[in-house]
Amino acid sequence: MDTWILSALPEAPARVLDAGCGDGELAGALIAHGHDVTAIDLDPSAALAAGVPAKRADLTRYEDDPFDVIVLSLSLHHMHPLEAALDRAAALLRPDGLLVVDEFAWDWADEAAATWFYDAGTLLGRFDRPEPDPMIRWREAHVDHSPARDMLEAIAARFEIRRTRRVPYLFRYLGGEHAARLKEIEEVRHAPTGFRLTAVTRVTGGADGT
Ligand SMILES: C[S@@+](CC[C@H](N)C(=O)[O-])C[C@H]1O[C@@H](n2cnc3c(N)ncnc32)[C@H](O)[C@@H]1O
């Protein structure tokens, strides 16, 4: 597991919401570092099977006491409606709390990146055969995923973004034992297809609270 999220967090113990926790690996690491973690997912079975306490919940409708930190790790692009997920995140974060987002930006991949992704994946046995039209398949595969353009706009409308970093992502998508070498190639050949950001609740200025 990449440790940047752990390093982005305030000192433990912080009250952390891991929304869309998946298999619970990150939530487990945050707990091990002394944080008070609430892990939620539409389907928490993988996290529970791994021994991580997780609740079945949908962020777009989730109610709870305020959190110091909300982590969205590769989950926001799956959440619909995107705006409702971020409205809830803004409501659940305490006024000086921190939003931490680690995301896939599929819309930043061009034809060369999609071709490399499917060719490398075919070589690694992830795909059965070479893809004749990588860009068409890429777009079809991600049609249900929010593009980075929409995520960044929706985050900026609700939070003050402190730091954004564009990072390679395809090597994580391909995974496996060659991930480190794939990352090196991706960094040399392709523009980033992921981003990492931290943000704080937007301070509203007007006397009427707007
Ligand atoms: C690609 S997985 C990411 C898992 C994990 N956070 C990670 O970094 O590997 C996305 C997860 O988000 C969950 N998810 C999607 N929409 C959600 C929602 N509205 N509320 C809570 N979880 C959601 C999915 O069930 C899935 O487990």
Q: How many angstroms separate the most distant Cα atoms in the chain?
A: 62
Residue whose pair of structure tokens reads 């970093």 in the numeric block: 165
How high is the pLDDT of residue 209? 42
Whole-number Å distance, alpha carbon 207 to ligand 1 midpoint, is 38
How far apart are the CA of 205 and the centre of ligand 1, in A?
33
Provide the phi-psi class of 22: left if phi over 0, else alpha when psi is between -120 and 50, else beta.
Answer: left
Ligand 1: lining residues by beta carbon, under 6 Å: 19-22, 26, 40-43, 58-60, 73-75, 78-79, 85
* Domains of the chain by residue range: 4-109+146-179+192-201
Alpha helices in the chain (DSSP H): 4-8, 25-32, 45-49, 82-92, 111-123, 134-141, 148-158, 170-174, 179-189
Q: Walk along the chain (210 residues) in steps of 10 and give the mean pLDDT of each run.
A: 88 97 97 97 98 98 98 98 98 96 98 98 96 97 98 97 96 94 97 98 58
Q: Residues 4-109+146-179+192-201: name the CATH superfamily.
A: Vaccinia Virus protein VP39 (3.40.50.150)
| 157 close to 88: Cβ distance less than 8 angstroms | no
Note the pLDDT of residue 207. 46
**Token digits of residue 19:** 């929304």
Give the integer Cα–Cα distance in Å for 99 and 153: 15
Q: Which residue has the tokens 């110091």?
A: 68
Q: Which residues of 71-103 are buried (b: 16+ CB within 10 A; e: fewer)?
A: bbbbbbbbbeebbebbbbbbebbeeebbbbbbb
Which residue minimizes the CA distance to atom 23 of ligand 1? 20
DSSP state of 40: E
| C-alpha closest to that of 58 among 44, 70, 45, 48 | 44
Position in ligand 1 atom list of the atom nearest CA 85: 19
Whose alpha carbon is nearest atom 27 of ligand 1? Answer: 22
Residue closest by Cα to atom 20 of ligand 1 = 58
Residue type, 198: T
The CA radius of gyration of the chain, in Å to the nearest whole number, is 18
Q: According to the model, what pLDDT value does residue 202 have?
A: 80
Around Cβ 147, how many Cβ atoms within 10 Å? 16
